[in-house]
Structure 1
C-alpha cells in the first residue's frame, strides 16, 4: 500500500511525453471522466510505455530484416511492415489502406 502511495505522489511531479490535455481529451472521448490529474498521468505513462515498447520491437524487426539483406547499402530503415509486426505482437492489427483512386479526368 505504501508503494502505491509513493507512486501516486510521484505522478504529481511527473510530466509525461503525452500532455495532460491530450490524455484527458481521449479519456473523455472514450467515456472516462476524472478530475484527478494523477489518474490522467498514469494513463499517459502507460501509453508512453506502450509506444516505447512498440518502437523498440519494431527496431528489432528492422535489424533482423537488415541482417538477412545481402545488399551493400545496409542502412537501417524502419518500415510499415516492421511496425505492423510489432503491433501485431501486442494484439493490434493494422492494414495498409487501398491505393488512392486515380484523379478524375478533367
Structure 2
C-alpha cells in the first residue's frame, strides 16, 4: 500500500523544491521525508549521565535522612490506603512529600493570619509605628481554623466546622 520511494520524493518535492537538495532519494522512502539527524549528541549523553548521578546521590541522601513524620506512621497510613511497598526509600520519599505539604499549608495559614491581624483595626492607644513594628516581630501567632480554612481551600480541601460549633 505504500507508494514507491521515488513517487514520494516527487510528490514531496513538488510542494517544497528546496528539500530535494537537502534529502537524497534514498532517505525519502524510509522516513517519509523527515530528517531526524543523529540519534543522540554527546552533550545529551553527558547531561543524562549527570542527571543519573544526581538521582543516585539523592537516593543515597534519602537513606541517611530522618524525616519529621516517622516511617512507621507513613507506612501505617499507606497500608491502610492499600499501598504495599517493600522499599523503605519510597516510604521515606512519601514522608518527605507529606512533610512538605504540611509545611506549605502551615506557612500559608501563617500568611493568612498575618494579613488578617495587620488589616484589623488597632486598639486605639496611639502606639507609634516603631512599637507596632517591634511587636509584630516579637508577636506569637496561634493557628486557628479561621486561618487554616482558607489555606487548605487553596489546595482544594474544604473544611467546615461541625454543626454543634456553629
TM-score range, shorter chain: 0.7 to 0.9
Partner secondary structure for residue 24 of structure 1: helix
Give the counterpart of 1:46 among 88, 97, 112.
Answer: 97
* Aligned twin of 1:60: 111
Tell me the TM-score normalised to structure 1 length. 0.86
* 2:149 maps to 1:98: no
Tell me the TM-score normalised to structure 2 length. 0.56
Unpaired runs of 5+ in structure 2?
1-51, 125-135
Q: Flag the structure with higher helix content.
A: 2
Larger gyration radius, structure 1 or structure 2: 2
Query: Distance between the aligned counterparts of 1:69 and 1:78, measured in 2?
Result: 17
Aligned residues: 100
Runs of 4+ off more than 6 Å: none
Query: Distance between the aligned counterparts of 2:162 and 2:118, measured in 1?
Result: 28
Unpaired runs of 5+ in structure 1?
101-106
Query: Which one scores higher on RCO, CA 8 angstroms, separation ≥ 6?
Result: 1
